[in-house]
Amino acid sequence: MLPSWEPLWPYRAVLAVDARNFSALDSKGMQQVNADIPPLLAQALSASNVSAHWERRTFGQHTGDGYVAGMDPEVLPALVGCFPDALRTALARRRAEAPAGPPLQLRVSIHIGPLPNSGLGVPMVHTHRLLDDDALRSVLNRANPEITNTVVIISQRVYEDVFESGCLNGDVLPSQYTRHLAKVKKFQQPAWIHIPGFDWRLANPDIFEPVDAAEEAVAQPEAPAPVAPARAADPVPGTVNFSHYGKDGIQAVNNYGGRGQ
C-alpha cells in the first residue's frame, strides 16, 4: 500500500501594514485611519498593476492599526519593485487633501510561505515579527513625517525570489534594500529594509543590527584620541578668525573686525 500524504497549503505572498503612533490618536482619529488604510492599499496596488490580485486576496483583515492579506506569489515582483513608491505617493496625496490632520506613516512587511485560507500559520507570525522590528520604528521616529511616510521590510526569501529571478517590476535597484538582522522576541532572521526614494549610502547604520554581528571579532581597544592643538579663545561676534602654523610648529592666531579694532 502506498503511503498517504497531505498536500501542502498554497503559497501566499503576505502583505501587512501598520500605522505609526496609532495609540496616540483619539477614538475618531483611530477610526479614520482604520478606514483609510484599505483604500490607500488599493490605490497603491492599482498603480502597481495588481488590482485584480488584490480583489482576490485571502484572509484580508483589519488589525486595528493596520491591515494584512494574502495574495498570489506572482505579485511579489510588483510588491517589491512598484508598491512601496506607489504607497508613498498615495500617502502624500492623502496628506495634501487633509493637511490639518497628522501625517499618516506606514510600516510595511512582505513575506511568503504556505498558508491555509484562514491565514493561520508560521509565515503569518513571521510577517508580523518583521513588521514589529525596532529598526522600522526607528526609521519613522527619526524621519520627518512630511517627507518619509513609508518604510518597507521584506524577508530574505522574498528578496531572493524576486532579485535572483530577474523578474523585478519597476525601477527599484537591489541596492535600495539594505540587509538587516530582524530581531523580535525569539524571532531572528535576515531581512531587507527599503525607504522609497532613499539612498542607503547616506544612512547612519547604527540603528541597524548587522546580519553577521555574531561572527564579528572582539573589538580592539580604542586608540587614544588625538590631542587637539591649543587655540585662542573664540573671537567676539563680527570678527574673522583664522590660524596657521609657522616654523617649529609655532601657532599664530589672527582676529580681524572685533570690537575696539
pLDDT in tens, 192-236: 999 998 888 777 666 666 666 544 544 444 444 555 544 444 444
C-alpha cell at 249: 610648529
Percentage above 70 pLDDT, the chain? 78
Strands (DSSP E) contained in 118-158 are 150-155
Q: pLDDT per residue over 151-168, tens digit each?
A: 999 999 999 999 998 888
What cell does 43 get?
Answer: 490605490
Region 4-32 average pLDDT? 92
**Among 133, 115, 106, which residue's Cα sits nearest to residue 187?**
133
SS3 of residue 248 by DSSP: helix
DSSP letter (8 states) at residue 241:
E
Residue type, 236: V
The three grid cell numbers given for residue 165, joined into one nine-digit string: 529571478
pLDDT greater at residue 206 or residue 2? 2
Q: Per-residue pLDDT tens for 136-152?
A: 999 999 999 999 999 99
Mean pLDDT of the chain: 84
Cβ partners under 8 Å of residue 180, min gap 6: 133, 135, 153, 190, 191, 192, 193, 208, 209, 210, 211
90: burial class by Cβ within 10 Å (0-12, 13-18, 19+)? Answer: buried
Rounded CA-CA distance 81/87 in Å is 12
Q: Rounded mean pLDDT of 7-17?
A: 95
| Residues facing residue 114 across a β-bridge | 11
238/15 Cα distance (integer angstroms): 58
Alpha-carbon Rg for the chain, nearest whole angstrom, is 25
**C-beta separation of 133 from 182 below 8 A:** yes
